[in-house]
Amino acid sequence: MRLVAPDSTTTVPLDTTGILNCTASYNGHPMHLWIDTGVSYALFMQEEKARKYGLKLFAHDSTLVNGILSPKAEAVIDTLRIGTFCLTDIPVIVLCHDITHGMPDSIRGKDVRHIVDSIYSMSDAVLGLPALCKLGQVTFDLSGHKLTLRAPRHPFTPSEEPNLYLNQNMLYTRCTLNGAEAVGLLDTGNTGNYLTFSHLFYETNKDRIPLDTLTAKRKIGSWIYGHTLADMPYEIPLQPDIRFDGLPVRIPPKADIIITPTATRAGAVAA
């Protein structure tokens, strides 16, 4: 995979309706991309979308997707253009099954299918972290609805505010909850909770984190490619003070900030 960047920067519209989407061009045809920093593949899509774009599939076998062995194929996209930037020879993982594969029959009903289908109908493919890293410096302007790409600098100079870092092909960041520092996965594809902190993090810092015992809890479930949790147990921090780089984070109305025993990291941050 290689980047061809004739300009130092390029800017394209960014759709922030629920998930982060931008429009690229493949062989002159628009391709709507879901930008997901939680995905460790450069690009992946469902089989029907791959066939829609005429991709040649090969290497049919299985792969683990969130712990579930799932049938997949591979493909290669020769060129994908975002603004004036062009990625070449992009490896593609193609999921060869119903997107609700692995979901228990008890919750695999029409309503769930409708929700999952509506999310994936917004995009043709998912642009994962390896492709994002190839694009150089990526800036999401959520209020201005713009995605700006800056060509990689040579020689590379570290950012003045290094609050994002890679570890084992995953993107992490730091924030604080009531002054307690948390390190967490930054996942722009998380359509569930706004912020999820692990119970271990709470137990370590519970003297700083009073719990809200009065607010009625709604049922929260989690499903990500076969990993399902229905009616997930959790706690709610009381008047949480969330800060990023020392600056307070404005918490949207109805945003879920929860503490759950199912979180595997100190904090899972969804943009």
Q: Chunked in runs of 10, what are the mean pLDDT values of the chain (271 residues)?
A: 92 87 92 90 91 92 71 93 95 80 54 60 88 90 91 62 75 90 83 80 93 82 48 84 89 80 48 43
Question: What pTM was estimated for this model as a whole?
Answer: 0.78
Rounded to whole angstroms, the Cα distance separating 136 from 155 reads 13
What phi and psi, each to the nearest 5 degrees, are found at residue 220? -120, 130
Instruction: Supply the pLDDT for residue 57.
Output: 94
CA-based nearest residue to 76, from 63, 62, 88? 88
Q: What is the model's pLDDT at position 210?
A: 94
Note the pLDDT of residue 75.
95
Let me know: does 44 contact 194? Beta carbons within 8 Å.
no
pLDDT of residue 101: 57
Residue 71 Ramachandran class (φ > 0 left, ψ -120 to 50 alpha, else beta) = beta
Q: Which pLDDT score is estimated for 112? A: 55
Rg (CA), the chain: 20
What's the confidence (pLDDT) of residue 256?
79
For strands 222-224 and 146-150, give the pairing.
Answer: unpaired
